[in-house]
Structure 1
Amino acid sequence: MLTQRLGHSGARKTRGLRKRLHVAEALTPEVKLLTRDSKRLCAAFRRVDKFIRYRIFNIKFTRRASTVVMLGTDMKVAETPKDGLKDYLKTDPYADWLKSEGVRVYQEYYFKSLAQVELGPWERKGGSGAVVHIDNNHMPNDCHVVEIKPGGKSEPEHHMYEQTIYVVSGRGATTIWQDDKKKSSFEWQAGSLFSIPLNSWYQNFNGSGQEPTRYIAVTNAPPMFRLYRDNKFIFNCDYKFTGRYDSEEDYFSGKGKLYTRRVWESNFIANAPDMALYGWKERGAGGINAMLEMCDNNTKSHISEFPIGTYKKAHRHGPGAHLVLLSGTGGYSLIWTKEDRSDMIKCDWALGSMVTVPNDNCYHQHFNSGTTRARYLALRPGDMGLYKKGRGGGGEYADRSIKEGGWQIEYEDEEREIHKIFEGELKRNGATCKMKAFIPWCTGEVGPTSERDT
């Protein structure tokens, strides 16, 4: 036997040669002439190897010092050492910051009630808190759930990341300043929505001596920590972004300006659950909406509402939209990523529920199966403030059919099971489906129609 004559070392070489010859067998007839003699085997392989290099790839290698030169080109391929190399690893500065804060961290993307989220001590925020951050390296934001104790206040702070705050419960006030000489204060209550201008000093106060106040703040802290990799810069930078905020007295007065595509620019909304909204028929039956621009941020938010017995069209977009239910007695969201929806999850709503879109391949769809109108707030990443003319205000593709290159599934293209689930939920709640104008197999009645402006 050839392996016996060559010994163990030769056997290993032969096995390696045989594997390579098996690949080359279709390239040259010489392989068929091989015998078990090792010399002829090796010689034949050299001819095969030469054939492959010259006839197939027309490449020749010569060795010079620690590089291999590919003749016929000007490329030099450095030799990689076989031993002693280590993986190049970098710590996550955002994760390190969370650890140093000692704050509780959640990685879930669905919370039935923000009021019931368990918190831990968070000294910086003046009471207790937690951070919601889904384990996704591309997640562009996080959500801070903060509770200030009765009569309490947060530590004064400023930082190089944006945040938009929604008050879940209680009442209080915020003081903001660029320098100690000119401070501005405004009061807020449950349902208020506002943003802190980038790198401005601020301090939050609980206005009650008996009850705690709780709010959420969606921030773009994760990418900012990972970009600069320096906590001192994040928290100690003294640059004043006066183009965003220059201590204007009426900055948080609540006044605003309406633009095309339902864009409302304002730095403070006193009562988000009851603010005026505008028609957005592209997103579904009877839907109304306002796209919010606050403090010249890159991070964005919007508010949408839809009637009893209706639901919105399924769509997808980038990760990080945090949806908070502002009003409604019932409803749910469906979330899935696989085409056959085998991973579909149903997230039931209650007042103060929060659902987060976890990744950019995630379809999601919202349903009002309750007995009152349903309104939600979406706190989300932005588009760097760049809107194309004639588009924008919700994403260029979020309200465009997948048949037209967009990210939205039209009613006529959705699976029948989607509507079947909805009618079952309505029946349990004693409500009537009003999707007859859009869904031919709907067993309910006509509600909003496609001709309606909303």
Structure 2
Amino acid sequence: MGNEWVEPTDEKRAGHGTFGRPKTDYDLFMESEGVPVYRDFGVLRCQDLPMRPWDRLGGNGTYVQLYGTEGTWGMYVVEIPPRKELNIERHVYEKNIMILEGRGVCEVWHDEKHKQVFEWQSGSLFSIPVNAYHRMINMSGQRVIFVAGTTAPNLMNLVGDTDFIFNCDYRFGSRFDDSLSDFFEEKTQIEPDPIRGLAMRRTNIMADIVHADLPLDNRRSPGYRRIEPHMTQNKFYLWIGQHEIGRYSKAHAHTSAAILFCLTGKGYTLTWPEHLGVNPWQTGNSDEVVRVDYEYGGCVSAAPGGARWYHQHFNVSNEPFRLTAWFGPNHPSMLPGAAPGQKTTDYTAMDIQEGGTSIPYWMEDEFIRAEFQKQLEVNGAVSRMEPHRYQKPDNIK
């Protein structure tokens, strides 16, 4: 029998007032798996995270739950030893896989007579159809390292029944037809996405996102390039973008969900709560700014505080700065409280004076430009941020 509740006296409030956030079903599930659970603002290199043998999956691995992504989507890193394979899996949550090291094949099927088999390598990105059987196989004499992003937290925290999640017999026919021989053939056609009109590819696999051509976008920095892969009809949203050498992203604010992975170049991210304003160093709040450094395979939580945070990404190398951002089933257009059809804007790509949250270069804190220049010099790189980028336009008062 539990403790007896005591009604407050006089005008005192009921309850504890302050309390610790309880563990969710997904938190408890991760703890039960026998592998580490890494929590932080970011990771320098996911390949170097401590891992342990993973009985359910096979291989070695670790969960990664960066701050701000709790409950929004799940992530883990797996190592497959040379010439080994993982256990067969099936689950009703979505899963995307990005290969950081190694090469091999993946088998996917509903009916073993129609087993789909495709090859992958370092830089490959693909999606496992919901509730399809699948197995990852390392075909080389070197280890394989991959990152997986899933909607497992969303389902587990709602349903609370792992037996249903891993042992459901329902076939999602609209998501996967294993009789289609070209299901895992890469599709290269670019079309506008149906919501914001940004460049999109409908493909269930990209063989090499590190070197794939990206169309011009210009929304984050001069010469910025970007594509959205839409895979296996997932709700899981992601994109791949690239900043030119010597240039960096404008700071912009949105709520938590996004994790950015570094694919080429190396650099750092600065992120701070929106309520600190656009110039946190000048206003004496630099101690609340978070910095995360990373290189190939590293990642950062763009808005780690739950509410809207500004974040800004910097390349300090002599090669283009390519990133992929994963959001889980949290498309930026799905604003809470907005009715279907209600007009909204691409607010993170619009400058503050246009009604967006993007800080134009001329408005940003002076520390940002100075630190960028300093880090370029340390790494033997050169800025291509022309002086006019920092000049306030004449038409703005």
TM-score (norm 1): 0.73
Q: Name the SS of the counterpart of 2:256 in structure 1.
A: coil
Whether the aligned pair in 1 keeps the contact of 2:57 and 2:89 (CA below 8 Å) is: no
CA distance in 2, matches of 1:316, 1:386: 14
Alignment of 1:51-450 (within 5 A): 82=7, 92-134=24-66, 136=68, 138-208=70-140, 210-247=141-178, 248-260=180-192, 261-328=198-265, 330-337=266-273, 338-339=276-277, 340=280, 341-342=285-286, 343-357=288-302, 358=304, 359-383=306-330, 396-436=346-386, 438-440=388-390
CA distance in 1, matches of 2:219, 2:89: 42
Identity %: 32
How far the C-alpha of 1:326 sits from its partner, in A, is: 0.9
CA distance in 2, matches of 1:201, 1:377: 26
Query: Deviation string for 1:94-140 (max 9, x for gaps)?
Result: 12211221121011121111221111111222210000113558540
Q: Name structure 1 gaps, 5 residues minimum.
A: 1-79, 443-454
CA distance in 1, matches of 2:204, 2:258: 20
AA matched with 2:200: V
Between the two structures, name the one with larger relative contact order (CA 8 Å, sep ≥ 6): 2
CA distance in 2, matches of 1:211, 1:121: 17
CA distance in 2, matches of 1:363, 1:385: 15
CA distance in 2, matches of 1:116, 1:167: 14
How far the C-alpha of 1:241 sits from its partner, in A, is: 1.1
CA distance in 2, matches of 1:288, 1:137: 26
Q: Name the SS of the counterpart of 1:186 in structure 2.
A: strand
CA distance in 2, matches of 1:414, 1:368: 17
Whether the aligned pair in 1 keeps the contact of 2:69 and 2:257 (CA below 8 Å) is: no
How far the C-alpha of 1:344 sits from its partner, in A, is: 1.3
CA distance in 1, matches of 2:222, 2:67: 34
Query: Deviation string for 1:56-113 (max 9, x for gaps)?
Result: xxxxxxxxxxxxxxxxxxxxxxxx9639x999x9862112211221121011121111
Q: Name structure 2 gaps, 5 residues minimum.
A: 9-13, 193-197, 335-339, 393-397
Query: Deviation string for 1:226-251 (max 9, x for gaps)?
Result: 01111111111111111111112101
CA distance in 1, matches of 2:243, 2:23: 44
AA matched with 1:82: E
AA matched with 2:40: E
Query: Deviation string for 1:388-427 (max 9, x for gaps)?
Result: 99x99xx832212233332221222211211111111122
What is the number of residues matched between the two proteins? 358
Q: Over aligned residue pairs, what C-alpha RMSD do you find?
A: 2.8
Equivalent residue number for residue 11 of structure 1: none
Query: Deviation string for 1:342-366 (max 9, x for gaps)?
Result: 2112222322221122234221111
TM-score (norm 2): 0.83
Query: Deviation string for 1:193-235 (max 9, x for gaps)?
Result: 0011111111111112x32111000112112100111111111
Worse overlay, 395-404 or 112-121? 395-404
AA matched with 1:420: A
Q: Name the SS of the counterpart of 2:113 in structure 1.
A: coil
How far the C-alpha of 1:431 sits from its partner, in A, is: 2.4
Q: Name the SS of the counterpart of 1:257 in structure 2.
A: coil
CA distance in 2, matches of 1:81, 1:117: 47
Q: Name the SS of the counterpart of 2:112 in structure 1.
A: coil
